[in-house]
Structure 1
């Protein structure tokens, strides 16, 4: 169990370091994930795309 916690802690620290490095490269500007990942067109409720079954992740 302690090994699992150590691995999790290492991943978290590495992710924080990567985030800080990217912030420094971009001069403090962060990405807006909602805007970056949002589709440019939203299908109408009656269209086949809107009524299709959701895909399990």
Structure 2
């Protein structure tokens, strides 16, 4: 029935928007950051002597 076509498009649009949001949230939270404190401890202290 052609009268029901807009409802079908709306359902598909909401379906794909929800899948897109779930995909983005899963990618955002699945990324693991490295611990910054361990990388800062191994860094060498470089002293800069400025001669003006």
With the length of structure 2 as denominator, give the TM-score of the two structures: 0.52
Query: What is the Cα deviation at residue 6 of structure 1?
Result: 0.1
For residues 1-57 of structure 1, the aligned pairs below 5 Å read 1-27=4-30
Query: What is the Cα deviation at residue 25 of structure 1?
Result: 0.2
Larger Rg: 2
Query: Which consecutive segments of 4 or more residues in structure 1 shift more than 6 A?
Result: none
Query: What is the Cα deviation at residue 13 of structure 1?
Result: 0.2
Report which of the two has the higher share of helix: 2
**Between Structure 1 and Structure 2, how many residues are aligned?**
28
Cα distance in 2 between the residues matched to 1:23 and 1:4: 28
